[in-house]
Amino acid sequence: MEILNRKAKFEYHFVQKFEAGMALVGTEVKALRAGEASLGEAWCHFEGDELFLKNMHIGHYRNGPPTQHDHRRTRKLLLKAAELRKLKRKAEEKGMTIVPLRIYFSDNGYAKCEIALAQGKRSYDKRQTIKERDVQRDLARLKKL
């Protein structure tokens, strides 16, 4: 199962991508496997030297106990110390931010979050993206005919 942040590609230019582990509780992992999550309003930020994922929604696990995790709790992202230092230094530059792109399960069964160091697009960049998407859609329609 893979949870995507579809708005991110439209809103940002990606400079560099990273793969981060996530500190989760048991019912969160089961809910993620069931696809009960959303990255639509999520963002990353530093508290001290640690990176956290804020406002990501993970729904309740249906077969779980009545007392489960909080839907939108802050979740810690796990990266190597060198990667964290590099990300923090770059994120403090003007116009740069850290955006969660997708959540997936690795071959080992661990939940991973792909994050990107990103720069916001301007309105004319967004118009260009829309134009390119429309052209690709038209070409795909012509190929089907």
User: H-type helices in 12-122, by residue range?
Assistant: 26-33, 81-91
Render pLDDT for 85-139 as a digit per residue (tens, 0 to 9). 999 988 888 888 899 999 999 999 899 999 999 888 777 777 888 888 899 999 9
Residue 11 tokens read as 């809103």
Q: pLDDT value at position 68?
A: 74
CB 123 within 8 A of CB 62: no
Strand pairing of 50-54 and 111-120? unpaired
Phi, psi of 8 (to 5 degrees): -60, -45
Q: What does the pLDDT read at residue 72?
A: 81
CB 118 within 8 A of CB 99: yes
pLDDT per residue over 45-97, tens digit each? Answer: 999 889 999 998 888 877 777 777 777 888 999 999 999 999 998 888 888 88
- Residue 93 CA to residue 95 CA, distance in Å, equals 6
For residues 56, 60, 65 and 69, what is the CA-based torsion angle, rounded to 10 degrees?
10
DSSP type of residue 83: H
CA distance 31 to 48: 29
**For the whole model, what pTM was predicted?**
0.77
Helix, strand, coil abundance in the chain, percent, nearest 5: 30, 35, 30
Alpha carbon distance 82, 93 (integer Å): 18
Give the distance, in angstroms, between the CA of residue 8 and the centroid of all CA atoms in the same chain: 8
